[in-house]
């Protein structure tokens, strides 16, 4: 069972990039293997979302979904999720850039 994404989550750059990575994997009808960087990135995006959902679930069980304490926890959980997603995207982009540079250097050396 998957939790539907909120409009806020759908517009986060990390979520959009994760969807691109997933869609790129399926291009041409045949699935390609994910790179290590893609695997780590998609896992980090998943973990960030699951931590947020888990924290909100604990708040519901503890205080109910109408209390002020609940809403404070929700805001904190969503802020942490946004921070985690931003960090995951930054790390992924840096690793892709480094891999591209390494490939370019390797190609220049082969010439």
Domain ranges of the chain: 9-110
**Are 64 and 85 spatial neighbours (Cβ–Cβ below 8 Å)?**
no
Which residue's structure tokens are 């540079």?
Answer: 101
pLDDT tens digits for range 7-64:
555 668 999 999 899 888 877 667 788 889 999 999 999 999 999 999 999 999 999 8
Joined tokens for residue 15: 């979520």
- CB-count exposure of residue 20 (10 Å: 0-12, 13-18, 19+): exposed
Contacts 24+ apart (CB under 8 A), 23-31: none
**Are 48 and 81 spatial neighbours (Cβ–Cβ below 8 Å)?**
yes
pLDDT tens digits for range 63-110:
987 889 999 999 999 999 999 999 999 999 999 999 989 989 988 888
């Amino acid at each position: 069972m998957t939790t539907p994404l909120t409009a806020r989550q759908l517009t986060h750059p990390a979520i959009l990039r994760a969807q691109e990575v997933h869609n790129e994997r399926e291009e041409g009808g045949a699935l390609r293997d994910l790179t290590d960087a893609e695997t780590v990135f998609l896992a980090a995006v998943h973990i960030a979302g699951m931590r947020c959902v888990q924290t909100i679930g604990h708040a519901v069980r503890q205080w109910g979904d109408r209390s002020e304490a609940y809403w404070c926890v929700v805001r904190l959980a969503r802020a942490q999720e946004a921070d985690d997603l931003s960090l995951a995207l930054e790390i992924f982009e840096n690793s892709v850039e480094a891999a591209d540079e390494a490939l370019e250097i390797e190609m220049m050396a082969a010439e």
